[in-house]
Amino acid sequence: MDGNGRWAKARGLPRTAGHTEGEENLASVVRAAVQRNVGWLTAFGFSTENWVRPRTEVRHILGLHEKLFGRVAELNELNVRIQWIGRPFGSPDARTPKYVQRAIRKAIADTAANTGMTLTIAFDYGSRAELARAAQQIIADGVPATIETLQQRLYLPDLPAVDVLVRTSGEMRISNFLLWQIHASKVYFTEKAWPDFDEHELDAALSLLQ
């Protein structure tokens, strides 16, 4: 969900305003995806690299994610199941604050019975950290290193392969996001910043599958 800061700067607003708008837009995109019968939607909310951002910006983003995981009534109304992907809370390198952890656990429990779209939020997530941890577990378990054994040791082994990767804000690259899962995905690049990513952009991304 790239371009929140640039979106705000173009409007003479603080970067935090861009993040707020971006979080609100995610709710709009979730609704649009549900209407289009999308089965799985994964959003990169906060990476392992984002902790180096200014403290006030990080605090603002943390608050927004606590609010995001608190939108249980809306998710239940949409029949959306929410899950989270990131460094396990108990691991020594995990940095997700306790109050965000509580919001994540509650949202997962309160939407577990929903049977519609699965919304996965990547928070304190980095694909290289995920793959390194899977490799370490293979070594610790003493099993052969294969595609199957590595897949089984990912953060969310049942997360399906990505069909379409969306990159907003004119960034012509991939980032440290689901590198294992995007191995055969289509990639949709758009100049629009994330707060301006709308249902028409979503339709354009989904059209790559036709």
pLDDT of the residue at 156: 98
Q: Which of 165, 156, 159, 155 is nearest to 190 (CA)?
A: 165
pLDDT of the residue at 138: 98
pLDDT of the residue at 40: 98
What CATH code is carried by the domain that includes residue 129?
Answer: 3.40.1180.10
pLDDT digits (tens, 9 = 90+) for 182-199: 999 999 999 999 999 999
pLDDT of the residue at 112: 97
| Structure-derived torsion over alpha carbons of residues 14, 16, 17, 20, reported in degrees to the nearest 10 | 170
How many independent structural domains does the chain possess?
1
Mean pLDDT of all residues belonging to the chain: 96
Is-catalytic flag, 2? yes
Choosing from 2, 4, 25, 124, which is the catalytic residue?
2
Look at the alpha carbons of 32, 35, 36, 38 in this order and tell me if their dihedral is positive or negative: positive
pTM (predicted TM-score): 0.95
| Structural Rg of the chain based on CA atoms | 17
Element (H, E) at 56: helix 55-69
pLDDT of the residue at 180: 98
The residue segments making up the domain with residue 127 are: 2-207
Choosing from 25, 50, 79, 110, which is the catalytic residue?
50
How many Å apart are CA 201 and CA 189, to the nearest integer?
Answer: 10
Q: Which residue stretches of the chain have pLDDT < 70?
A: none
